[in-house]
Amino acid sequence: MKHLFLFVAALFYYSTIFAQDKTPTVYIDKSGVLRWNHTNQEASFYGVNYTVPFAHAYRALKYKGVNPKEAIDRDVYHMSRMGYNAYRIHIWDVEISDSTGNLLTNVHLDLLDYLFAKLEEKGIYSLVTMMTNFGNGYPERNVNTGAFTYLYDKCNVHANPEAIKAQQKYISQLVNHKNPYNGKTYKNDPFIVGFEINNEPCHTGDIAITKNYVRTMVDALKAAGNKKPIFYNVSHNESHVSAYYQPGIEGTTYQWYPIGLVAGKERKGNFLPYVDSYPISFSGVKDFDKKTLAVYEYDPADILSSYIHPVMVRTFRSTGFQWITQFAYDPIDIARYNTEYQTHFLNLAYTPSKAISTMIAAEVAFQIPRKQVFAPFPENTTFGDFTVNYEQDLSVLNDGVKYYYTRSHEIVPKSEHTLRQVAGVGNSTLVNYNGTGAYFLDQLESGVWRLELMPDVEITSDPFEKPSLNKEIAAIFWNNQPIEIRLQDLGVDFQVLKLNSGEQTVAKASSFSVSPGVYILKAKNKSGSSWNAESKFKTGKLGDFYAPEPSNFTVPIVIHTAPQFIEMERGAEISMKVLTNTKIDSVILQTDQISFWKDKNPYLKLHKNGNLYTASLPKDMLSKQDLAYTITVYTQNKKYTYPEGKEGTPLDWDYISKNYYTAKVVSASAPIMLMDARIEKESSLEHYAIPDSSFLWVTKDEGDFTKPASWQYKLTSKDSQSRFFWKKYVRPTIEERATGMQHVNKVGATLEVKDFKGTIQIGFITRKGFTYVKDMAVSALNYDKVEVNLQELSLVPTPILPAPYPVFLSRYFVPQVKEPFDVQDIEQVIISTSELPKGQADVRIGAIWLQ
């Protein structure tokens, strides 16, 4: 028995070694190119950051009673489902170390081990940032764990001898830690690509101290037996860049947040000009071209759009990056709150179009050659087998084998004969589906396909506002609804088997009913196939499926934004989504002119199309200058009135709410107000300075009998070339005033400028992302009305506002293509100053309009 045990143990040992030998690994060659060991071909990685083992993600799951390992299972499956092959984490050293740097074996380290093992099962490689050197609280307060990081300031850990000793001990023990789930130490795990020393270090003072710190950390890793590539962050502390490029560092890491962070609201606009290039200002430093380029974090933050991820990745590939990881993927079990990082929001179930865009971005990383050059925007919206379209908020991959898309579109597959995978949201030439969840079609064999369908989702409030675990910003619905799949390989009357229930049906004219889950679709004449839920599929089983449970709410959710303006001559169509778990009898609109005491009160019944309700407002409702209205949702046994969402109707004797949706009713010939300080409680203008060392303070001047209200800005220039900017997204107003827009020829503003002798520019940013302005002298502006003919606007560089990260990136997009200004393309209004010398100046802005 003893010999049998030894034999089995030896067999297990050598089979493990053999398996390790078979695992493709990477190395960095002398030219700084990341290559596969088994083929010497260039490697390319794309994936996400994800933080369930640590900090708020871990705590939030515990608050909600979710098992973190089960959460990891669900999320890693979806990462694999979207084709990612890369994962990056900055480890919260404060949660797995003591005050002297000893590695602690605890729940956080156990979850990290488990996560690495699950990623390995799915063929996903990891880049490990060993230290964050900051607390574990955000967005909550830090929890003092007694770790060494809490003993030292982040900007002093590189110079303090005791801090350096603790870090040496910690990283040495970390790379030698054996993962109990796969039996491998981190330094010998083939699925760990390499180690980044720390996350976004803060280097100040003497460069020699920085150089010594980096060398010390490299030496500690080598002494610990690590032979994997070592990476260092170079996109921070540009004045210390020369200290990073030294022996032992094989890879350099960068970030990219092209439109800033934490806007507190969803940003709108065409940001393709912002991501057209990634110029690295220090690319001439010695040995720059001998280091692998890695993106540890990137994200177009504060937007829900699906057009931008593939373009950012294309830009990275053009620059030479081989590792690209988004920050950060939201755990499926807390994504409905978006509390982990309010400025980021990405999850397959909750942001399906955005998630599919990252699936397409992964293919960009795999298919677009490193350092391939493309034409400048806007001539590069089609590249290789990829298409992006800002107007449609669309990304598409169409390479003959894969057909992925983020929105409904009409692009025909390149070759249906060779097509093997479909992934999308909405309708295409192959799929007709009105649900909002993502779906995946994979050919298993000729005439047999696997369909995976995610539940419907609706965003119910701005996910980038201040978050709370008591506030859901999205709702999930497990609807049963029709789908039409027109694949030549299946025919029109194919068999349909739902794996998790065993239900069987036959498609009629390529259509059948679906609810979330996994299906086998089999051509009518196909026989002999034995696919079932336990069959192997990719890196798992055919029946694998994870989705959040349906949302549970008792009061209907009304998603509606009232128009700001309604043109009396044109009228308006009111639309809204009404979400409920109970049957809706009707949805009624009533104005503030109704009364309990009247015998007859006008109302408007909205028409239903799915969960969308619409109605055209009759002109007799538009007789007042201000329209105020409520929406009442009648369910089977209750009535709820909005915008407040309280039970009851405006005609109840005890209805006391005074909350209304409101819109201004105007003549089509009236000026089109883009900004008006008289009616604004807070300035609607975003304001910025370039460079960011200069700044603006804003207060409201309520005015006197001679001057109406205005927003007053105190400009403080700390640089001899500071410029100041004000802008506002006005596309909704432009669309609401469509009739009036046909006749405008001037832009006007009330302005006052003091203590400044330069010029001021006023104009617009269009849907193409191009900027057109008129330059005016300001010496005579004393709260004057300024008017500029639209024909006088000239094309100028588009300022990149807010500031991108890293800070070395350009602040202007200079168009290479000259296009004339089209008033119908207006998307943002912009005001700016010429360069302001050091000192202060005052600008007052009262109103901006078109006429």
- Overall number of domains in the chain: 5
- Whose structure tokens read 């949805």? 587
State the burial class of residue 525 (Cβ atoms within 10 Å of its Cβ: 0-12, 13-18, 19+).
Answer: exposed
Same domain, 30 and 152: no
Same domain, 7 and 150: no
Q: How far is CA 757 from the centre of its chain?
A: 41
pLDDT at 3: 42
β-strand partners of 28: 34
Q: How far apart are CA 535 and CA 531, in angstroms?
A: 6
Q: Amino acid identity of 781?
A: L
Instruction: Name which of 408, 418, 580, 388 is nearest 487 in CA terms.
Output: 418
Same domain, 130 and 21: no
Per the structure block, which two tokens stand in for 319? 């620059």
Q: How far apart are CA 167 and CA 175, in angstroms?
A: 12
Q: Amino acid identity of 539?
A: T
CA dist 127 → 64, 206, 359, 806 (Å): 29, 29, 19, 20
On whether the CB atoms of residues 87 and 50 are closer than 8 A, the answer is yes
pLDDT at 275: 98
Inside any domain, residue 220: yes
Same domain, 38 and 53: no
Same domain, 305 and 426: no
Instruction: Name which of 488, 478, 595 is nearest 545 in CA terms.
Output: 478
Domain termination residue (choose one: 631, 647, 666): 666
pLDDT at 16: 39
Q: Can you list the residues of the chain whose pLDDT is less than 50?
A: 1-20
CA dist 424 → 395, 436, 500, 560, 696 (Å): 10, 10, 22, 26, 44
Inside any domain, residue 548: no
Neighbours of 247 (CB within 10 A): 8
Contacts of 474 (CB under 8 A, 6+ apart): 335, 336, 350, 457, 458, 459, 460, 463, 551
Same domain, 612 and 567: yes
Inside any domain, residue 837: yes
Rounded to the nearest 5°, which phi and psi values hold at 202?
Answer: -110, 95
Same domain, 646 and 763: no
Q: What is the four-CA torsion angle of 243, 249, 250, 253, rounded to 10 degrees? A: -60
Inside any domain, residue 547: no
Rounded to the nearest 5°, which phi and psi values hold at 355?
Answer: -65, -45
SS3 assignment, position 164: helix
What is the end-to-end Cα distance of the chain in Å, rounded? Answer: 95
Instruction: Name which of 77, 203, 62, 54 is nearest 130 in CA terms.
Output: 54
Same domain, 564 and 708: no
Domain termination residue (choose one: 666, 683, 717): 666
Same domain, 416 and 495: yes
Same domain, 195 and 300: yes
Same domain, 645 and 690: no
Q: How far apart are CA 404 and CA 464, in angstroms?
A: 27
Rounded to the nearest 5°, which phi and psi values hold at 265?
Answer: -165, 165
On whether the CB atoms of residues 130 and 94 are closer than 8 A, the answer is no
- What's the half-sphere exposure (Cβ side, CA atoms, 13 Å) at 460? 23
- Residue 740 belongs to domain with CATH number: 2.60.120.260
- Whose structure tokens read 């694949």? 487
Inside any domain, residue 416: yes
b/e map of 726-738 (b: 16 or more CB within 10 Å)? bbbebeebbebbe
CA dist 746 → 111, 664, 826 (Å): 62, 22, 13
Question: Can you list the positions of beta strands (E) in 596-743?
Answer: 604-605, 607-609, 612-616, 626-635, 639-642, 646-647, 661-666, 672-676, 686-690, 695-701, 710-717, 723-729
Q: What is the four-CA torsion angle of 388, 379, 691, 792, rounded to 10 degrees? A: -120
CA dist 157 → 147, 166, 170 (Å): 13, 10, 13
Rounded to the nearest 5°, which phi and psi values hold at 290?
Answer: -110, 10
Inside any domain, residue 702: yes
pLDDT at 780: 59
Contacts of 22 (CB under 8 A, 6+ apart): none
Task: Tell me which residue range forms the domain holding 10.
Answer: 1-43
Determine the longest span between alpha carbons in the chain, in angstroms: 103
Q: How far apart are CA 331 and CA 67, in angstroms?
A: 12
Q: How far apart are CA 517 and CA 453, in angstroms?
A: 5
Neighbours of 371 (CB within 10 A): 10
* pTM greater than the 0.85 cutoff: yes
pLDDT at 702: 80
- Residue 193 belongs to domain with CATH number: 3.20.20.80
On whether the CB atoms of residues 155 and 204 are closer than 8 A, the answer is yes
Before 258, cis peptide (omega within 30)?
no
Inside any domain, residue 597: yes
On whether the CB atoms of residues 422 and 430 are closer than 8 A, the answer is yes
Inside any domain, residue 546: no
Contacts of 509 (CB under 8 A, 6+ apart): 484, 492, 493
Instruction: Name which of 716, 723, 801, 795 is nearest 758 in CA terms.
Output: 723
Domain termination residue (choose one: 666, 688, 711): 666
3-state secondary structure 188-242: HCCCEEEEECCCCCCCCCCHHHHHHHHHHHHHHHHHCCCCCCEEEECCCCHHHHH
Contacts of 813 (CB under 8 A, 6+ apart): 273, 274, 276, 377, 769, 797, 798, 800
β-strand partners of 845: 711, 751
- Residue 644 belongs to domain with CATH number: 2.60.40.10
Per the structure block, which two tokens stand in for 240? 């210390």
**Secondary structure letter of residue 257 according to DSSP:** B
Neighbours of 777 (CB within 10 A): 12
Q: How far apart are CA 851 and CA 846, in angstroms?
A: 16
Same domain, 279 and 412: no
In this structure, the chain runs to a length of 851
Q: Where are the alpha helices (DSSP H) in 309-460?
A: 309-319, 352-367
